[in-house]
Amino acid sequence: MGLGGCIILIAVGAILTFATDWHMQGVNLDVVGLILMAVGIIGVATFSSIARRRRVVMPPTAVVEEERHRHGRDGYGDGYGM
């Protein structure tokens, strides 16, 4: 179950607990809503801790600078700009 599923569980649990006025024989919808919210919160915590561990920090790579010189016809510098 991903992060979206956990958020849906929290939302459905909150709706059952706070927004409904239904009464079913043998089922307490307030408790069912609280259980769904608890499972959703546990899922979000687990998902975020796993996602934090999977994040890989790459060390910065070394920058190699290449030095280029202009050479004259004979292969040697002309003395200017070297």
Does the pTM surpass 0.75? The reply is no
The whole-angstrom separation of Cα 8 and Cα 31 is: 17
Domain boundaries, the chain: 3-54
- Tokens 């069912």 — which residue? 32
Q: Is residue 81's pLDDT more than 60?
A: no
Q: Residue 11's pLDDT is what?
A: 96
Structure tokens at 41: 């919160």
Q: Which helix (H) or strand (E) holds 44?
A: helix 29-54
In this predicted model, what pLDDT tens digit does every residue of 13-63 receive, in sequence order? 999 999 988 888 999 999 999 999 999 999 999 998 887 777 666 777 777
Instruction: Average the pLDDT over 73-81 and give the result.
Output: 57
